[in-house]
Structure 1
């Protein structure tokens, strides 16, 4: 089963993917920034992007096991960013 979440910040597309067999991946503008295969605990993926002013922003995504499936929470520089579940 594969789950995908996306968010856009200043023309930067952030995508988080979870696949039972392939692990968890964090992409920024189609470039892989973090990857984990972790079957028994909630992974935390980290990365970065540059905003329109050229400042480097930290990304943290946490995939959470819930009663009826998975959810994902995204933070950019310690501020939660809404995600849209694509798949």
Structure 2
């Protein structure tokens, strides 16, 4: 089973993918920034450059009991995430 979540910060696309056989990945504008192989939950980290040229930290938390959920934070502010 594969799940994908998408968030956008300014014009930057943040995509988190979870697969039973391939682990979890976080991509920023199509480039892999973190990859893990966890059993039940995972934390992914990365960064982006905003429109002012400043570096912003990204973290994504994956976890759940019966289904996997994803939260994405940019500089500790929770983003709206859409499961696709």
TM-score w.r.t. the length of structure 2 is: 0.96
What is the alpha-carbon distance in structure 2 between the residues aligned to residue 56 and residue 26 of structure 1? 17
Aligned pairs, how many?
A: 84
| 1:66 Cα deviation from its structure 2 partner | 3.4
TM-score w.r.t. the length of structure 1 is: 0.93
What is the RMSD of the two structures over their aligned residues, measured on CA atoms?
A: 0.8
What is the alpha-carbon distance in structure 1 between the residues aligned to residue 77 and residue 65 of structure 2? 22
What do residues 31-62 of structure 1 show as CA deviations (whole Å, max 9, x unaligned)? 000000011x3100000000000000000000
Paired residue for 1:28?
Answer: 28
Gaps of 5+ in 2: none
Secondary structure of 2:53's counterpart equals coil
Paired residue for 1:7?
Answer: 7
Gaps of 5+ in 1: none
| 1:10 Cα deviation from its structure 2 partner | 1.1
